[in-house]
Amino acid sequence: MNILVILNSPGPGSFNHALAETARSALLQDAHVVLFHNLAAVGFAHGCRQGKRSELHCPPATVKLPP
């Protein structure tokens, strides 16, 4: 089965990274085809910044498309 794992977390040591990597590894061990993509690594502007996780409201994400 083809599976796409999408992550958008700037902190490489974050819990989100650990979850995504664990899922990717388990899926690969089960012979799935896994495409892993980290949106933060390509500059996707997300609403919540690292260190602001305690705030209840995060502004909406913005996407900057190339011309």
Q: What percentage of the chain has pLDDT greater than the value 90?
A: 37
**pLDDT tens, 26-53?**
999 999 999 998 888 888 766 555 555 5
pLDDT of residue 29: 96
Residue 49 CB partners (closer than 8 Å, separation 6+): 10
CA distances from 33 to 16, 17, 30, 40 (A): 21, 19, 9, 22
Count CB atoms within 10 A of the CB of residue 20: 19
Length of the chain, in residues: 67
Is the pTM higher than 0.85?
no
Domain of residue 29, residue span? 1-67
Per-residue pLDDT band for 21 (boundaries 50, 70, 90) equals: very high
What is the tally of structural domains in the chain? Answer: 1
